[in-house]
Homo-oligomer: A and B are copies of this chain.
Amino acid sequence: ARAFRAAHGAEILADFARLLELPNVASDLPNIRANAEAIAERLRRRGATVEVLGLPDFPAAPPVVWGRLPADVPGGARRTLVLYVHYDGQPVDPARWTFPPWRPTLLTAALEAGGTERPFPAPGEPIDPEWRLYARSAGDDKAPLAALFAALDALAAAGVPRTADLVFFFEGEEEAGSPHLARYVDRYAERLAADAWLFLDGPAHQTGRPQLFFGVRGYAGFELTVYGALRQLHSGHYGNFAPNAVERLARLVASFEDGEGKVAIEGFYDSARPLGEAERRALAAIPAFEAALLDEVGLAAAEGGDERYSEAIARPALNARGIAGGGVGAAAVNAIPPEATASFDLRLVAGDDPDHMLDLVEAHVRRQGYHVVDREPTPEERRRHPLLARLVRRPGYPAVRTPIDSPASRLAVAAARAASPDGELVLLPTLGGSLPLYVFEERLGAPLVGVPIANHDDNQHAPDENLRLGNLWYGIDLLAAIVAAP
């Protein structure tokens, strides 16, 4: 694989860039379908049987790209592996991107490190692993697709047989919360039987070392709106008389936290399943990197003070995604804002039920004295309730954790150690991010291992998302080692 990508790096990059040119927000169905077709075509070219699956009752559901590529080793397949990737990306605000999000741009280094734009390399031209490719989904989560195509080509070119039957399952709505994933798995379960699932998503460890993860956090979200008067009122004539929705919301948001990095919602930490002994050992083996991470992201201190990063993300989290009410800067006027909204996501750990966690949030809001509704309140409701909040829940899913010493785990660990430039690895009992792995655990019962490729500083979910090319090379080596493992 190493020789192959040294010889064919320019072609690998050029084809990857073509895939990144396709806008891929889950709600943008025509473009999402174009992504699915482009990926299917690349799989077919490599000998796979491919179908772009849909759900008859849900015509607006982004399609799943499903495929099968049998082992070609004498004696037949040693195992069946499902490779999971999501080809959709987070929405973008192009005004905040240095380069257009769907015009892949090659830089000599990260922007923060002074990287400048350079042409894509000519065939055979040496490629610096520190170069970065900027585009939405360069890291999250099209990088594994580029790595997979190159790994299959490399094995074929070298005449190395595939020891595993491969099944591909590439979804198109992960960043929208995977609302149809369970239905896809139910409908197509017989095509998804396997010895293990490999989840190709998430970033490398913050130390820069490759990592594997054996669990992910679950997800839930909600949006909270509080109300003042029916209309904007002059702050001079009504200040001290009419309640201010921004001030009320600030108090409510502040009540969610204890001011020292812990969530103050009653019961929030109660359902989390504690880590086992093996997980605790894996955590303790991770080298300290918190000081470097704080420096890199420009922070004087972490939210939880000296607590280890990996301890922090093993707890459920409540995150304010944003807040808006009235105006600031040039948009500010001397008036009392009549409503204000804050948006939140929750990161759950094994044991937390999403609905139950949102029940706890709602109970907390009620305990602050609020009457809670789940839709726009009527003027009559606003006249009746001194404290009135609209709480809109967003669909979520639970976390999962897989035993760290299952056969699937050991296969992945061996391949990743072989692909790691220095043989070093980080084994993470749970990733901080969320993936809908519960669907597979619940319905298919297969062991799951997370196999990230992207650099940890890839700005995923943010403007200027990018992939470090050294991480793409690692991904190619890793996937080749997995597909050809003895």
A residues in contact (CB < 8 Å) with B = 90-91, 93, 175, 202-203, 217, 219, 221, 223, 228-244, 246-247, 249-251, 253-257, 259, 261, 293-295, 297-304, 309, 312-313, 315, 317-337, 340-343, 345, 347, 379, 382-386, 388, 431-434, 456, 459-463
Are B343 and A298 in contact (CB-based, < 8 A)? no
Cβ 8 A contact of A250, one of B254, B336, B461:
B254
Closest B residue to A334 by beta carbon equals B345
8 shortest A-B CB distances, which residue pairs? A322-B326, A236-B433, A230-B298, A239-B317, A250-B253, A232-B462, A237-B432, A229-B297
CB-based nearest B residue for A433: B236
**Smallest CB gap from A382: residue in B:** B298
Residue of chain B at shortest CB distance from A263: B240
| A320-B326, A337-B320 known; A433 vs B240 contact (CB < 8 Å) | no
What DSSP secondary structure best describes chain A's contact surface? mixed
Are A239 and B301 in touch, CB under 8 angstroms? no
Contact of A319 among B244, B312, B382, B434 (CB under 8 A): B244
- Given A237-B431, A243-B299, A322-B328, 4 new contacts (CB under 8 A): A219-B236, A221-B334, A249-B323, A322-B327
Return A269 CB to nearest CB of chain B, in Å: 11
Q: B residues within 8 A CB of A309? A: 241
Chain B residues closer than 8 Å to A335, beta-carbon distance: 321, 461-462
Inter-subunit contact B461/A331 (CB<8 Å): no
User: Contacts A90-B333, A461-B334: A246 and B323 contacting too (C-beta < 8 A)?
Assistant: yes
Which residues from chain B contact A235 at a C-beta distance below 8 Å? Answer: 317, 319, 321, 345, 347, 461
Q: Which residue of B lies closest to A344 (CB)?
A: B332
Task: For residue A251, give the distance in angstroms from its CB to the closest CB of chain B.
Answer: 4
Q: With A and B bound together, what is the CA distance between A203 and B433 in angstroms?
A: 54
By beta carbon, the residue of chain B nearest A309 is B241
Tell me the bound Cα distance from A294 to B236 in angstroms.
16
Contact of A460 (CB < 8 Å), options: B229, B234, B295: B234
Known contacts A223-B328, A253-B250, A297-B242; decide if A432 and B379 are in contact (CB<8 Å). Answer: no
CB distance from A452 to the nearest CB of B (A): 10
Checking B230, B242, B324 against A328 with a beta-carbon cut-off of 8 angstroms, the contacting residue is B324
| CB atoms of B312 and A328 under 8 A apart | no
When distances are taken between beta carbons in the complex, the residues of chain B under 8 Å from A228 are: 299
Complex: A301 Cα to B382 Cα, angstroms: 10
Q: Given A238-B432, A240-B261, A319 and B299 touching (CB < 8 A)?
A: no
Instruction: Please pick, from B242, B303, B347, B384, the residue contacting A302 in the complex, using a CB distance under 8 A.
Output: B242
A317 proximity list for chain B (CB < 8 A): 235-236, 239-240
In the complex formed, the residue of B with least CB distance to A311 is: B240
* Smallest CB separation, A94 vs chain B (Å): 13
Given contacts A297-B231, A300-B382, A327-B343, contact A434 B236 (CB under 8 A): yes
Between-chain CB contacts (< 8 Å), 7 pairs: A223-B332, A234-B432, A236-B433, A300-B384, A321-B327, A321-B337, A329-B341
Task: Tell me which residues across on chain B come within 8 A of A432, comparing CB atoms.
Answer: 234, 236-239, 241
Residue of B nearest to A238 (CB): B432
Contact partners of A304 in chain B: CB under 8 A: 240-241
How far is A334 from B246 in the complex, measured between Cα atoms in Å? 22
B462–A322 touching, CB < 8 Å:
no
CB-CB under 8 A for A433 and B333, given A243-B303, A320-B244: no
Rounded to whole angstroms, the CA-CA distance of A247 and B431 in the bound complex is: 23
The answer to whether A259 touches B251, judged by C-beta atoms less than 8 angstroms apart, is yes
Assembled-state Cα–Cα distance A300/B323 (Å)? 24
Q: A237: which B residues are within 8 A, CB to CB?
A: 202-203, 313, 431-433, 456
Per the bound structure, the CA–CA distance linking A234 and B461 in Å amounts to: 6
A436 to chain B, nearest CB (A): 13
Contact assessment for B236 and A320 in the assembled complex, using a CB-CB cutoff below 8 Å: no
The reply to whether B236 and A217 form a contact with Cβ atoms under 8 Å apart is yes
Check A320–B246 contact: CB distance below 8 A. Answer: yes
Question: How far apart sit A247 and B252, CA to CA, in the bound complex (Å)?
Answer: 10
Pair B229/A299 contact, Cβ less than 8 Å: yes
CB-contact partner of A325 in B238, B293, B322, under 8 A: B322
